[in-house]
Amino acid sequence: MKDELVKTLNDQMNFEFYSAHVYLAMAAYCSGESLDGFANFFLVQAEEERFHAMKIFKFLNDRDNRATLAALPEPKNEYSSMLDAFETAFAHEQQNTGKFYHLADLALDAREHATIYFLKWFIDEQVEEEALFSNIIHKLKRIEKDSNAFYMLDAEFAARSFTPPAE
């Protein structure tokens, strides 16, 4: 694998770890607002991001390359509302999608077929992630002032869990 591709895969792995950090901060914000269901939503999201990071970690090692960890930037810890938190998360996922597209372009240019195949899973995952956050934002905007609907959504998120996908 070309050095640039290895470096960019490492950057992406670290961004996935950072994404987990971002979602943990969002979970802490939700907990501070006594919205345990929303906190659970973001805790599950953080687990997914760590899973993604470790998937890249393993791929690098399996391809006889070294995974290298970097320091994580401090995430945003305060939000003006739950809508603000989800809009921030959606923008973060859109940024992540762009990073995977860039990685896929590098892999295509290098004719690195194993990496192209590997990245397909992540690109499909990003379509799901963006749709998830977009749908929640639409719901939050619809229920804007309806506290009953807001707490029903909080209860729905309390039941969310993470199950790693079968390989």
Instruction: Give the residue ranges of the annotated binding site for Fe cation.
Output: 16, 49, 52, 93, 126
In angstroms, the CA 113 to CA 111 distance is: 6
Is 23 within 8 Å of 45 (Cβ atoms)? yes
CA distances 158 to 27, 39, 116, 161, Å, are 12, 8, 36, 8
The tokens 């379509």 sit on which residue? 127
68: helix, strand or coil: coil
Is 83 within 8 Å of 140 (Cβ atoms)? yes
Is 157 within 8 Å of 41 (Cβ atoms)? yes
| Bind-site residues | 16, 49, 52, 93, 126
